[in-house]
Amino acid sequence: MSAGLVTLEHDWLVLRWRVTDARGLLLPRFAGRRRADGLWRTTCFELFIRTAGDRSYQEWNLSPSQAFAAYAFSGTRRDRQDLPVAATPVCTWRGGSTRTALFDAAIPRAALPAPPWEGHVTAVLEEQNGVVTHWAVVHPAPHPDFHDPACFAPLLAAPRPA
């Protein structure tokens, strides 16, 4: 599996995850573009993001079902609140029966913290046999913890004035 920033367009941060050998994945049923909790319990893709050097951060859960969750934290797993989002993220799964699948997510830039950004992209993948795996660039602890501050790294530099 791989993931990364595709583009920072006018009002959207666009991310892409590439899943190899996706044929055995369990995909959630279509839910439409709406907010939902508990998406991380099955196949879902995530972005953790904060302003560089800040302790507060956001968690975005993005599902192939097109549902999403967005939370704000004041510190590591502290004071979780639903993050107000004026524009709904756009989630697109392309895979079908192919070996490689792509998941794209466009997140409204207005809901994100101020750049420069630190963060990381992650994935929770559930197979049809019930096995759940947690994917990230780094797992600093013996068990996956996507909220661990040690996971955060520079994502994108601050825009330069024209």
pLDDT at 139: 75
CA distance 6 to 82: 26
Q: What is the mean pLDDT of residues 120-140?
A: 89
Percent of the chain scoring above 90 in pLDDT: 67
User: How far is the CA of 107 from the CAs of 33, 73, 110, 146, in angstroms?
Assistant: 12, 18, 9, 19
* Position 32 pLDDT exceeds 60: yes
pTM beyond 0.75: the answer is: yes
CA distance 71 to 74: 10
For the chain, the domains span 2-151
Do 14 and 102 meet the contact criterion of CB atoms below 8 Å apart?
Answer: no
pLDDT band at 157 (very low <50, low <70, confident <90, very high): low
Which one is predicted more confidently, 161 or 56? 56
User: How far is the CA of 78 from the CAs of 63, 72, 90, 96, in angstroms?
Assistant: 24, 9, 27, 38
pLDDT at 83: 97
Is the C-alpha dihedral spanning 107, 111, 117, 120 positive or negative? Answer: negative
Do 14 and 7 meet the contact criterion of CB atoms below 8 Å apart?
Answer: yes
Which tokens hold the place of 10?
Answer: 């006018």
Is 3.90.550.10 the CATH classification of the domain at 2-151?
Answer: no
**Each residue of 80-126: pLDDT tens digit?**
999 999 999 999 999 866 688 999 999 999 999 999 999 999 999 99
